[in-house]
Amino acid sequence: MPPVIINFVAAQSGTGKTTLLEKLIAELTARGLKVAALKGEVHHYNLDIPGKDTWRFAQAGAAVVGMTTPEKYILIGRAPSTGGTAAAVSKLQEFDFIFIEGGKSSPYPKIEVVRGAVNRQPLLPEGVIAVASDLADLPLPPGLPLFRLDDAAGLARFICDRFLPPAGGEPELTHFDKAGRPRMVDISEKEITRREAYAAGEVAMAPATLARIKAGTVAKGDVLAVAQVAAIMAVKETGRLIPMAHPLNISAVEVDFNLNEAESKVEIGVRVKLTGQTGVEMEALTGVSAAALTIYDMCKAIDKNMVIQNIRLIEKKGGRSGHFRRE
């Protein structure tokens, strides 16, 4: 799932949106959630001052410029075709929530902040899911939740209950529709991000078979070279082999082999990279499987007792679920 994006809006400045967001971010972060916050509808900022280094880098054509300290960083990028908000969101896909201060006309859900000292009539733009206010008598449509302006904990519970799966609940099986029939997941609304996956597996064999692979004396040819080509081809064809996998434009495939003589096996690793809308775990796993099967095919005439085993995902990066690394 992509991150949940919520706009926090108000009739004008001075309503306390920033203070509410500060408390809300602290509440959600304390729950172990990853939150990004953006200031929206800003017409200019003074970080990229003409004549300064970052400005000069951008003028020279750098797509992104930035500044870093030992603990922090600031990045500035150009996005004339999509707009700054969309470009920023596309780079924050590993977060649970993205909060945007401002954006009354955005397509995302909105929480409106109403402060009695500033205005007593809510705007209620399209997409409002809740209101936070210091007024208890606001004229709100039936069913629209009203939270106290200082009740960040209650608002955090509301947001988690509405947008996150129940704690301890089983993960959603996305390849089945509500009727239980198989389906290909719709990724058309997902943002394009960098994805990567690394999978591994093994082919256990007789020591004499491993020795012949190492020496290059197997009758059918260079076993590992052929297995490498098979892994790359399988990665590119995963969308045809796995029923609900999407056909993907793979960016890179890396295949590595280790001849483990102590345990008499060939260890296989496949790393797949992509800039796209879905992950490449299946591609990496399929690549390992094809390499293992190819090794078996190349050597079966001399060792039919070979065992293909322990095919598993080692690591994945990118996407809604973030970074996974097998212990």
pLDDT digits (tens, 9 = 90+) for 230-260: 999 999 999 999 988 889 999 999 999 999 9
Q: Which of 12-21, 157-166, 179-188 has the highest mean pLDDT?
A: 12-21
Q: What pLDDT is recorded for position 179?
A: 57
Question: For the chain, where do the domains classified as CATH 3.30.70.640 start and end?
Answer: 193-325
* Cα–Cα distance, 28 to 227 (Å, whole number): 47
DSSP-based three-state secondary structure for 299: helix
Q: What pLDDT is recorded for position 168?
A: 52
Question: Residue 282 CB: number of other CB atoms within 10 A?
Answer: 22
DSSP-based three-state secondary structure for 282: helix
* Cα–Cα distance, 282 to 185 (Å, whole number): 14
* Cα–Cα distance, 259 to 176 (Å, whole number): 40
Per annotation, catalytic residue among 48, 151, 256, 297: 297
Burial of 109 (0-12, 13-18, 19+ CB in 10 A): middle
Residue entry with tokens 């809604």:
320
pLDDT digits (tens, 9 = 90+) for 295-322: 999 999 999 999 999 999 999 987 766 6
Instruction: Work out the pLDDT band at 70, boundaries 50, 70, 90.
Output: confident
Superfamily of domain 193-325: Molybdopterin cofactor biosynthesis C (MoaC) domain (3.30.70.640)
Pair 293, 257: CB distance under 8 Å: no
Phi/psi for 198 (5° steps) reads -130, 125
Is 297 catalytic? The answer is yes
> What is the average pLDDT across 195-221?
94
Q: What is the DSSP letter of 176?
A: B
Name the CATH architecture for the domain at 4-163: 3-Layer(aba) Sandwich (3.40)
pLDDT digits (tens, 9 = 90+) for 98-138: 998 888 888 889 999 999 999 888 999 999 999 999 998 89
Question: For the chain, where do the domains classified as CATH 3.40.50.300 start and end?
Answer: 4-163
